Structure 1
Amino acid sequence: MKKTVMIVDDQDELRESISTFLQNEGYQTINARNGNEALHLIEEKQNVDIILLDVMMPEKDGYVTLRELRMDKNKTPVIMLTAKTDEIDKLLGLEIGADDYITKPFSLREVVARMKAVLRRTSEEQADDEWIQKADIKINLNTYEVYVNDTRVNLTPTEFKILTTLVEKPGRVYSRLQLMNIAVGEAFVNYERSIDTHVSNLRRKLSELGSSATIQTVYGIGYRLGVEA
């Protein structure tokens, strides 16, 4: 069965160029000129396997569009397309829930290669539900659900990846750079301290639900998960 790609970009020529190339590669395509149009098509239950989402668009930019998708529990893989090259812009997209990030100008063959990699990865992740549990924390690695004392807790994509890493190997110490690399795919040296903010939020959420597990600071190194015996 052909995979369906939604292309969201306000540049008509680029959007049509990508669409034509993907169709020649065996994909079906759905085109949208902005975030509002894309969200409307998705609300109409258009079957989409992956979304190519431009960042800079009128009416509703790519960041806002992606945030609304994820808030609506839509887990369709998203690759951001942007002319922005700053690491902070890439970090923001990944933090919101993007699966990959391609900087303009790009080759269309690179787009196809990145799409195949993302689709392969997400397909493997969705194959079977897989739970991990430590103390009162339960995590579903495929549905991204987290429960503490049997109560659902809402986490950002970055918080989810950090907590999953710590729960999988309690007691192991991870540096900030290691956690940054795990959470967003790259170790951004200038932004490693942002991990502290995510850890602080995680601690608050675990504490509010009375978890016996704690995220401990190992001074001068990083963090580990502590579990009561």
Structure 2
Amino acid sequence: MGQVIAVVDDEVKIREMIQSYLHNEGFETVEAGDGVSAVHLIETHKVDLVLLDVMMPKMDGFQALREIRIIKRKIPVIMLTAKSEEIDKLLGLEMGADDYITKPFSMRELAARMRAVLRRTTPDEIDVESDELLIRGEIEINLSTYEVRVSDEPLNLTPTEYKILVTLAQKPGRVYSRLQLMDSVMGEAFINYERSIDTHVSNLRKKVEKDPAHPRYIHTVYGIGYRFGEKK
């Protein structure tokens, strides 16, 4: 059985078009026509990735994303939006979406973006050390269960935030440029979306750092990118 994609859009023709193409590409699909139905779908079905429209009745895509992140925090989500404004795209990323794609889009582009998100959120893409536990100061990362704790408190990270943290924490002191981090975490197809990596890092800091404005672990190297280094 192929990977299961939840196609959530209030336009029947768009759902049918996406599902037909994805079936030909070897994916299984389930569908919903509004945000409320989408949340119920995620609760009751095994889903590997969600394609989530923003403008929907009953519950819009942003609110549905909030609910989905509560139910299944690790499931990758791609937002589908007719809005091209940067603020809408960044809002989706800040709320935990893994990517966004603006309508109208080609089916080939959609499939390529889906595969890129699935690759970077699949566990075996992480460069796992021989130890199952990666401990950096008060941060504990379980590389076999993909759970993160800070001061023994569990964190609710998205798949992209998790991979950014592991990438940085596995090589403390190494400086990653934004392009290097984008390529490592999100794939080279996203190297022109540098601002989105800043948004993901900002979200990660809010969860990992006690004082995100003065980070202990995830430091900005101005003009270059980011590095992991514990500040005592």
Quick one: distance in 1 between partners of 2:161 and 2:28? 34
Mapped partners of 1:22, 1:173: distance in 2: 38
1:15-30 equivalences in 2 (<5 Å): 15-30=15-30
Q: Using the aligned pairs only, state the percent identity.
A: 46
Shift of 1:126: 7.2
Which deviates more from structure 2 when the two are superposed, residues 99-108 or residues 194-203?
194-203
Superposed displacement of residue 8, structure 1:
0.3
Aligned equivalent of 2:8: 8
Q: How does 1:73-112 map to 2 (within 5 A)?
A: 73-112=72-111
Alignment of 1:140-151 (within 5 A): 140-141=142-143, 143-149=145-151, 151=152
> Counterparts of 1:135 and 1:205 in 2: how far apart (Å)?
15
- State which structure, 1 or 2, has the greater radius of gyration over its C-alpha atoms: 1
- Which residue in 1 is equivalent to 2:52? 53
Most deviating of 17-26 and 61-70: 17-26
The number of aligned residues is 218
Query: How many Å apart are 1:152 and its aligned residue?
Result: 2.0
Aligned partner of 1:154 in structure 2 is 155
Deviation, structure 1 residue 28: 2.3
Of 137, 140, 147, which residue of structure 2 is paired with 1:138? 140
Deviation, 1:55, is 1.1
Contact kept? 2:73, 2:157, Cα under 8 Å: no
Whole-angstrom distance in 2 between the partners of 1:127 and 1:169? 13
> What residue number does 1:71 align with?
70
Residue matched to 1:225: 229
- Counterpart in 1 of 2:41? 41
CA distance in 2, matches of 1:218, 1:126: 25
Note if contact 1:87-1:188 (Cα within 8 Å) is conserved in structure 2.
no
Inter-partner Cα distance in structure 2 for 1:125 and 1:61: 33
Seen in structure 2, the aligned counterparts of structure 1 residues 18 and 132 have a Cα distance that, compared at 3 Å, is same
Structure 1: any 5+ residue segments left out of the alignment? 207-212
Query: How many angstroms apart in 1 are the aligned matches of 2:4 and 2:221?
Result: 48
**What residue ranges of structure 2 are gaps of 5+ in the alignment?**
none
TM-score by length of 1: 0.72
Deviations, residues 70-128 of structure 1 (Å, cap 9, x unaligned): 12234222221111222222222223222222111001122222222322333344789
Q: Structure 2 vs 1, CA of residues 193 and 63 (structure 1 numbering), >3 Å: closer, same or farther?
A: closer
Shift of 1:153: 3.6
Residue in 2 aligned with 1:188?
A: 195
TM-superposed CA distance for 1:183, in Å, is 8.5
CA distance in 2, matches of 1:174, 1:167: 11
Cα RMSD (Å): 3.9
- How far residue 155 of structure 1 moved from its aligned partner, in angstroms, is 4.8
